[in-house]
Structure formats: C-alpha cells, structure tokens
Amino acid sequence: MQLNLLSESQEVELGKQAKQEAEQTYGVYKEKPELSQYVEGIGKRLSQESGRPNLPWSYEIVDDASVNAFALPGGPIFITRGILGHLNTEAELAAVLGHETGHVAARHSANQMSKAQVAQLGLGIGSILSPTVASAAQVASAGLQLLFLKYSREDETQADELGFRYMTRVGYDPTQMIPLFQMLDGVSKQAGGGKTPEWLQTHPDPGNRLAATQQRLKTELKGSTEGMKVEREKYLQLIDGIAFGEDPRQGFFKGDTFYQPELKFQWKLPSGWKHQNTPQAVAAASPKEDAILQLQIAGKMSPDEAAQKLFSQQGIKAGQPVNVKGAKVARAFQAQAQQGVIEGVIAFTSYQGNTYMMAGYTPQGGLSSYLNTFVDAMGSFSELTDSSALSVKPARLKVVKIDQPMSVSDFNAKYPSSVKLEEVAVINGVDSGGKIPAGHAKQVVGGTGEMK
Ligand SMILES: [Zn+2]
C-alpha cells in the first residue's frame, strides 16, 4: 500500500529546499566540468525512461569522499566523487544513477521525507552552527539525517528493478550491475574493517540483491548483451585526476592528532577515541561512547563574549573555572540536552582571528572520571608548524595505460599508490589476488599517505 502524503508540487518544492541544503552541506564538486556534464547527461537520459520525465531532474556530483549516492523528492540526485572514483565503467555509473532515479520515480524519497517530519526541514544546518551544547551534542548526525533517508528493503528491490529497466532501455549492459555490487561488497570488506559504504547504510541490502539481479538478467534480458554499452575506457579517462579520499585541506587525522592546514592548528585527542571531522566541528567519542570531545569555531567574538553568550542561554549552567592550558576562558558546566542532563568543561581560546570553542561532556555524574582527559586534550590545541602537514594536498586518481593484464601487486610495484593494496584492488574492480585487465587502470597519488 502506498500512502502519498505529498502532492507532486509539494514533492518538488520539498526536493528543491533539500537540494539547497545538500549543496551547502557537501559542496558541489566543480573541479572537472566535463565530468559533471557527463554525469548529468547520463542521468537525464535515464530520467526520460522513468515515467515522470517532466520532473525537474538534476544530477550533481558532491565533493564528498564517501561511497554514496542519494535521491531527494521531485528529482534532485546526488552522487559523490567518492563513488565515482570506485566505479570502472559508464554502465556501472548508469546503474547507480538508474537506481536513484527509480527511488524518485516511485516516490520513495517523497514518502520517506514526509515521514521524517517535514517541519524539521530547514532547521538542519543553521541550528548546528549555533554554539549551544544541546545542538553541539548532535553535531555528528543531525542535519544530515534528512538527507540520509533510509529506505525499506522493498523500496530497494523496486529501485533495483527500475534502475535495471531504465539502463537497459537506454542501451547499457545491465550485467554491469554485478561488478557494482561486488565493488560495494569489496569496500565493506576492505582491511581496517567495519567500513560499510554509505550507499549500503542508507540502502539496506535486500539480502539477495546480487542473486536477484542475476535472475533478472536471465528472465528479462532476452538474447545477449552484445552491442550494449559498457564504455570502460571512456569512463576511466573522464575520471582521471579526480580527487580521491577525504580532502586533507579540510582537516585530517594522523593517529590521534587532528591537523587543520588551512586554519593552521593541531589538536591531540585521547588515544583510542573514535574521531570524526565534519564541516561544523571535529568530534571524538570515548571508547565506551559515554563522553564526547569537540572543537568548533565560535566566531569572531572574543572568548569572553562567546562564553557570556553561551552561558546566558537557557538550559545551560556555568560552574567553577577550570585551568586549561592556553584557554582564555574555561569553566565546568551542566546542561539539559535531548538525551538528559550532561556535564563537562567548555573552553574558549582565541587563535589567528577566530575564537574556538572546545567542549568535553559526559552524562551527569561522569565528569570526575573524565575531567583530566578533557583538560589534557583541550590544552593540546596549538599552532601547526609541520611543513608537510601545512602543504598537504588531496590524493588524486591517476589513470595509466597498461598493455596487458597485470596482477594488483605487479601493478602497484610499477605504479605505486599512496593507499593500501586492498584499496587499489577495490577501485580497479578486482580482488587483491586478481588481475587488472589491459587498458586503463587507476593508481592513487599524493594525499596524507605520502606525508612524511
Ligand atoms: Zn536505494
């Protein structure tokens, strides 16, 4: 049963707003205009097969390293530069775009969005930036939740079916859905583990996806796929030079230390904590996930003014001053957060024209066991002077030509990459023990992997 809570014009309107938010949150990837046009061209052709050809379809690349793609109600579709770097053919790209187009065509995004409290739209980004503890506590996940709508397994199966249909009608070889699923699987299994591609997190695996696709190939694809488009060489040439992995200019971790080359600071977090860098804040969670440390820019006000503004807000109570090395203002605090009462330390420091706010907090009653950890971490905020960290650049894919098939390790010996061998295998669409076919192949050059 399908309950459409939104009219088509509401759906389109909602998508427009969410599209702006997505563009702001991630940034549109603009380094390769010919690649952007190419993605849009393929998407638009698929959209004409969707049964809703008149929606304001758009297909954009976002500047994000994750392996992801997502669709918003009414037509906006986004694909990350991260997934583009992991694909190997135009037909695989068409499979991803076709799948997302299917979500929009079948109104999955619209239904999810209306369930996800339409009223919350627009709150996202603005509220994260306001330096209140209550919003800071959700910094890692809020805002983006609306964009990362989770679909049901039934929706996924349907989107796979629709994507299959669209790509086939446009003339792409649908057997290319198989290497796509294998790549997603490969990313999940990559050394270091525990890394589920975002595309799989928001698109729950219907279980037998690969098998279902193989079945569909047998029953629906009458005749062979001969003559259908794959376009491996063309695709690989177009992604040559694309940024790969997180952009270290936006800050990066080496071990437990966070480096920000643009703002020229470094910050050492407690060892063993899980960390995350978002455009709004750097945050780390204790191994038991009962304490958070985070750092964000509080603005141009002085540390005193910023502290005053924060502590004048409702629901937050200033406590005793705390001695934090280098900080202009540091105090214990207690606050009412969504999850309950939290307590911790907040410190403000002024550095190169900005005021920074650091907060360490834990549920009420936990501060005594974390106080020293918070104070040590906050006291480690300091100027970044290391020249290799200051001059770091993003890694890039370099597409090279090989005359005959090469094992991944031989390829890596001849064309060394700044990422692990397993990753070289995954981005080239083979197992670590497999052979990369003759023609164009990918290596990864530069980035923090080459930092001294
Ligand atoms: Zn999906």
Average pLDDT over residues 55-76: 92
Angle between helices 108-115 and 90-105 (to 10 degrees): 60
If you measure from the C-alpha of residue 278 to the centroid of ligand 1, how many angstroms do you get, rounded to a whole number?
24
Residue ranges near ligand 1 (ion) with Cβ within 5 Å: 156, 159, 203
Beta strands per DSSP E along 278-394: 282-285, 292-299, 316-321, 329-337, 340-351, 354-363, 382-383
User: 3-class secondary structure for 266-278?
Assistant: EEECCCCCEEEEC
Task: For residue 210, report the distance from its CA to the centre of ligand 1, in Å.
Answer: 14
Nearest partner of 307 among 332, 324, 280, 329, judged by Cα: 329
Cα(94) to ligand 1 centroid in Å equals 14
Q: What's the pLDDT band for 185 if we cut at 50, 70, 90? A: confident
105 CA to centre of ligand 1 in angstroms: 12
Domains of the chain by residue range: 8-239, 249-389, 394-450
Q: What is the mean pLDDT of residues 401-417?
A: 96
d(CA 124, CA 140): 12
What is the SS3 assignment for 164-185? Answer: HHHHHHHCECHHHHHHHHHHHH
Q: State the pLDDT confidence band at 342, using cuts at 50, 70 and 90.
A: confident
Check: CB of residue 199 under 8 Å from CB of residue 97: no
How far is the centre of ligand 1, averaged over its atoms, from the C-alpha of 107 (Å)? 12
d(CA 312, CA 328): 18
Expressed in angstroms and rounded, the spacing between residue 124 Cα and the centre of ligand 1 is 23
- How far is ligand 1, taken at its centre, from the CA of residue 1, in Å? 19
Task: Find the 165 Cα to ligand 1 centroid distance in Å.
Answer: 15
Q: C-alpha angle 111/117/119, rounded to 5°?
A: 125
Q: Ligand 1 centroid to 394 CA: how many Å?
A: 29
Residues in the chain: 452
Kindly state the percentage of the chain with pLDDT values over 90. Answer: 56
**% pLDDT > 70, the chain:** 86
What local confidence, expressed as pLDDT, does residue 212 receive?
85
Distances (CA, A) of 386 to 243, 255, 264, 377, 447: 23, 15, 10, 19, 15
- Give the span between the Cα atoms of 96 and 43, in whole angstroms: 10
DSSP 374-418: HHHHHHT-EE---HHHHT---EEEEEEEESS-EEHHHHHHHS--S
Residues 424 and 402: their CA atoms lie apart, in Å, by 15
Hunting for tokens 């995004």 — which residue is that?
A: 109
* Whether the predicted pLDDT of 240 surpasses 50: yes
Residue 138 has pLDDT above 50, yes or no: no
Q: How many CB atoms lie within 10 A of CB 293?
A: 26
CA of 214 to the centre of ligand 1 (A): 18
At residue 228, the 3 state secondary structure works out as: coil
Q: Give phi and psi for 223, each to the nearest 5.
A: 90, -175
Q: What is the mean pLDDT of the chain?
A: 85
Exposed, middle or buried, 385 (CB in 10 Å: 0-12/13-18/19+)?
exposed
d(CA 111, CA 7): 11
SS3 content of the chain, % helix, strand, coil (to 5): 40, 25, 35
Mean pLDDT of 309-337: 91
Of 77-81, 211-215, 405-409, where does mean pLDDT reach its minimum?
211-215
Domain with residues 249-389, CATH architecture: 3-Layer(aba) Sandwich (3.40)
